[in-house]
């Protein structure tokens, strides 16, 4: 069984919700990324989303864009990131999902990227710039490699298109809480819970929510309905703010931050 499916089955049996932190691969460097992932697993993270740096991200706000730029300036190629994941997989069984631009997948070739991703130990991928109407080849090839294709659904998505996304997405559905780009928000839209209920009514697949989540009380509110909570920019920003500290300090600080956020799940 794919690790993502196994994790959600385990969480459902225990009556728990998933916590999914996002970090950028290679920021501030790959060894630190690896230690942060291991710390997140120790703190109880369910699944970890790993951003593959790209020069023109479609939905990422300034915090994640800046982290991508830092990695790209050091010329860390996708091949090196996949090799890093392969080495990390020897130390952990936590499900790993790549957030990757379709441009990168296309350049490598669908079979080429997915084959390397599977060999490295990834469990799924989120391709934010690939519309559901054009996802059939990627989705079927990913399924052949036992990889999950996780699609995004926005507040503005038409109901018919939501149903299509719910049918095609595997692993879980990524619901975007707010219109626009990633980034921590003081407040989330008042109708976010209503939209979550509507989406969950269309599918038995897990629905996880991201964009804007940065506080335990937001995690608590969303966990009443969503099957999982995704937090990215707040973590990436914290890593950037502490990037000059020793590696063990960065790991400790970020680990404590997600442990505090996860109190919202209790």
Active site residues: 49, 60
Residue 224 contacts by C-beta under 8 Å, 6 or more apart in sequence?
193
> In angstroms, rounded to a whole number, what is the distance separating the alpha carbons of residues 248 and 256?
12
Query: CA-based diameter of the chain, in Å?
Result: 50
H or E segment to which residue 122 belongs: none
What SS3 class is residue 174?
strand
Q: Taking a C-beta distance cutoff of 8 angstroms, is the pair 226, 18 a contact?
A: no
108, 117, 192 from 77: Cα distances, Å? 12, 14, 37
Residue 186 contacts by C-beta under 8 Å, 6 or more apart in sequence?
none
Would strands 152-153 and 148-150 be described as parallel, antiparallel, or unpaired? unpaired
> In angstroms, rounded to a whole number, what is the distance separating the alpha carbons of residues 47 and 265?
15
46, 91, 124, 198 from 117: Cα distances, Å? 20, 17, 8, 33
């Amino acid at each position: 069984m794919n690790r993502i499916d196994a994790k959600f089955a385990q969480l459902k049996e225990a009556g728990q919700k998933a916590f999914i932190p996002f970090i950028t691969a290679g920021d501030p460097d790959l060894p630190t990324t690896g230690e942060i992932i291991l710390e997140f697993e120790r703190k109880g993270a369910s699944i970890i989303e790993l951003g593959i740096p790209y020069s023109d991200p479609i939905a990422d706000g300034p915090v994640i864009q800046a982290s991508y730029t830092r990695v790209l300036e050091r010329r860390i190629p996708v091949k090196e990131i996949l090799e890093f994941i392969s080495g990390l997989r020897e130390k952990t069984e936590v499900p790993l999902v790549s957030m990757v631009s379709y441009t990168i997948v296309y350049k490598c070739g669908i079979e080429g990227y997915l084959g390397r991703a599977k060999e490295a130990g990834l469990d799924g991928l989120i391709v934010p710039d690939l519309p559901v109407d054009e996802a059939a080849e990627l989705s079927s090839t990913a399924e052949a490699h036992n990889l999950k294709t996780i699609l995004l659904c926005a507040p503005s998505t038409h109901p018919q298109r939501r149903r299509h996304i719910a049918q095609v997405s595997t692993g879980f559905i990524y619901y975007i809480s707010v219109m626009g780009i990633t980034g921590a928000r003081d407040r989330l839209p008042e109708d976010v819970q209503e939209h979550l209920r509507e989406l969950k009514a269309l599918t038995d697949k897990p629905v996880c929510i991201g964009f804007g989540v940065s506080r335990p009380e937001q995690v608590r509110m969303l966990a009443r309905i969503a099957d999982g909570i995704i937090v990215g920019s707040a973590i990436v920003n914290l890593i950037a703010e502490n990037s000059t500290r020793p590696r063990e300090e960065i790991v400790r600080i970020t680990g404590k931050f997600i442990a505090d956020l996860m109190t919202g799940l209790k």
